[in-house]
Homo-oligomer: A and B are copies of this chain.
Amino acid sequence: MSKNLTKRSEDYSKWYNELVVKADLAENSAVRGCMVIKPYGYAIWEKMQAELDRKFKETGHQNAYFPLFVPKSLFEAEEKNAEGFAKECAVVTHYRLKTDPEDASKLIVDPNAKLEEELIVRPTSEAIIWNTYKGWIQSYRDLPLLINQWANVVRWEMRTRLFLRTAEFLWQEGHTAHSTRNEAIAETEQMNNVYADFAENFMAIPVIKGRKTESERFAGAEDTYCIEALMQDGKALQAGTSHFLGQNFAKAFDVKFTSKEGKQDYVWATSWGVSTRLMGALIMTHSDDNGLVLPPNLAPIQVVIVPIYKGEDQLHQISEVANELVVDLRARGISVKFDNRDTHRPGAKFAQYELQGVPLRVAIGPKDLEKGTVELARRDTLSKQFVAKDQVVETIDSLLKEIQDSLHKKATDFRDDHITEVNTFEEFKEVLENKGGFISAHWDGTEETEQKIKELTKATIRCIPFDAKEEKGNCVYTGNPSEIRVLFAKAY
């Protein structure tokens, strides 16, 4: 069953691009760098959203909505943040079009409708939100303020790729305000842990939790925590970040509170976000040369039933069995589709669901009717088995759990196999070139060395892992003393 998908070993990048389009996840649009998320892809994103939203609410956060636009004067208030995003932001300058006097079928920007102040399409919302928080926070009683927003943001990236890097993307951004430094740091940690838990236990994606170096920090943050995942081609992918913003935004927007003791102080802040980029991480963690592989938690369709029949009579008999199975599976909260379309042959259906990563496929043919069985096929292992009709619901239920666990284990094994400790720069380059993955190496802690290594190898410090053991050593590049190993990798 060829889906004409390029093999990963031939061209991983091409494989990814083809898969995204052929599995009906997303496609490029008429707007440079902006994607259309197709219904099947969006259904997966909705599952991520629902679970994340539940986790945010469980940890005391509420959703709200802030404007799409940031007036330029607010945008530039926090200097580092502004500097970080100024080079890639879409700017609204006018608020009206008019008929082109030279061609009545065309429209032109109306020069008389120029905005007094330009509006930036939000690349992130700290500025507009902290300007709002100023009106919401007076006293310690107003704190903590724990708010999340689901929104679209725009960053005018020059090189874009579906899900991984797009000019517009969907995300959630949490923005919290606290009365103490420690509480804000605890929140930053908590949300990084929420992301890690979500990635590992819901998406079956193993991640390493750590801290970014200064040069990789969010613009305007004092500290950036992150979760880093490893893709099958040995490149790392930053899957989520949580920032401790210190009092930077509170100072930029003059947000003070009165403490219990009656003292005035600036508020402490965090922000944290994950985006549709997670779709890219999902695809590149689990999928194979036959197409998408989805953990059952994220599959819009967990089980598909395909009838194999000749003539109406057989279809009728098979449908009876299938419909009963549909009812029983739904009663267990399993999402199932009975594909009885007569416009497509079973082979074409098999190919489609394999490409789209449906975790389990049930096929029912005339021989199954005779024997009282169905054929059950796993998408992840491509293995098949015959199961007695009265055991199929139980089997499916336990297989879905098994697949979820198995995908996590497989990805974790791969990731663990691709963390290599190196002690010389030769080794560093050799591993990076031939094996890829994370390279655990000593670093002297200077930005200069970090930049130099990046220039020479394209590898960056993905994070300083929280669980790194302290160990005296020498920087892999300069030989200067180092206290800790950090993780390098090439990254998306």
- Tell me if A94 is interfacial: C-beta within 8 Å of chain B: yes
Alpha-carbon separation in the docked complex, A323 to B106 (Å): 66
Given contacts A62-B42, A128-B29, contact A96 B107 (CB under 8 A): no
- Tell me if A52 is interfacial: C-beta within 8 Å of chain B: no
Once the chains bind, are B74 and A86 in contact (CB under 8 Å)?
no
| Interface 9-mer from A118-126, A394-402, A460-468 | A118-126
Give the interface size class of chain A.
Answer: 35 or more
**Interface 0/1 of A41-77, CB less than 8 Å to B:** 0110110000000000000001111111111101110
Closest residue of chain B to A150, judged by CB?
Answer: B150
Once the chains bind, are B96 and A156 in contact (CB under 8 Å)?
yes
Q: B residues within 8 A CB of A31?
A: 67, 69-71, 119, 128
Once the chains bind, are A154 and B68 in contact (CB under 8 Å)?
yes
| Interface 9-mer from A32-40, A235-243, A303-311, A374-382 | A32-40
Once the chains bind, are A89 and B79 in contact (CB under 8 Å)?
no
Least CB distance, A106 to chain B, in whole angstroms: 6
Once the chains bind, are B36 and A65 in contact (CB under 8 Å)?
yes
Least CB distance, A113 to chain B, in whole angstroms: 8
Contacts of A81-106 to chain B: CB distance below 8 A: 82, 86-99, 105-106
Residue in B37, B82, B107, B119 whose beta carbon sits within 8 Å of that of A107 in the complex: B82
Q: B residues within 8 A CB of A65?
A: 36-37, 42, 45, 170
Contacts of A418-436 to chain B: CB distance below 8 A: none
Alpha-carbon separation in the docked complex, A66 to B41 (Å): 12
Q: B residues within 8 A CB of A147?
A: 39
- Tell me if A1 is interfacial: C-beta within 8 Å of chain B: no
- Tell me if A173 is interfacial: C-beta within 8 Å of chain B: no
- Tell me if A132 is interfacial: C-beta within 8 Å of chain B: yes
- Tell me if A152 is interfacial: C-beta within 8 Å of chain B: yes
Alpha-carbon separation in the docked complex, A139 to B119 (Å): 43
Residue in B79, B93, B131 whose beta carbon sits within 8 Å of that of A105 in the complex: B79
Residue in B93, B128, B152 whose beta carbon sits within 8 Å of that of A109 in the complex: B93
Contacts of A108-140 to chain B: CB distance below 8 A: 109, 118-121, 128, 131-132, 135
Once the chains bind, are A86 and B92 in contact (CB under 8 Å)?
no
Contacts of A452-482 to chain B: CB distance below 8 A: none
Q: B residues within 8 A CB of A330?
A: none
Once the chains bind, are A30 and B90 in contact (CB under 8 Å)?
no
- Tell me if A316 is interfacial: C-beta within 8 Å of chain B: no
Once the chains bind, are A128 and B30 in contact (CB under 8 Å)?
yes
- Tell me if A9 is interfacial: C-beta within 8 Å of chain B: no
Residue in B91, B97, B152 whose beta carbon sits within 8 Å of that of A97 in the complex: B91
Q: B residues within 8 A CB of A45?
A: 65
- Tell me if A168 is interfacial: C-beta within 8 Å of chain B: yes
24 contacts between A and B (CB under 8 A): A29-B66, A29-B67, A29-B128, A29-B132, A31-B67, A34-B68, A35-B67, A36-B132, A42-B62, A42-B63, A42-B64, A68-B121, A68-B152, A75-B107, A86-B97, A87-B97, A87-B98, A89-B95, A90-B95, A91-B95, A91-B97, A92-B93, A96-B156, A152-B152
Using CB atoms and an 8 Å cutoff, list the residues of chain A in contact with chain B: 27, 29-31, 34-39, 42-43, 45-46, 62-72, 74-76, 79, 82, 86-99, 105-107, 109, 118-121, 128, 131-132, 135, 141, 147, 151-152, 154, 156, 168, 170, 343
Given contacts A65-B170, A72-B97, 14 further A-B contacts (CB under 8 A): A27-B132, A29-B67, A30-B131, A31-B71, A36-B66, A37-B64, A37-B65, A68-B121, A68-B168, A76-B105, A82-B97, A87-B96, A89-B96, A90-B95
| Shortest 10 CB-CB contacts between residues of A and residues of B | A39-B62, A34-B67, A37-B65, A86-B97, A95-B156, A91-B94, A31-B67, A93-B93, A90-B92, A76-B107
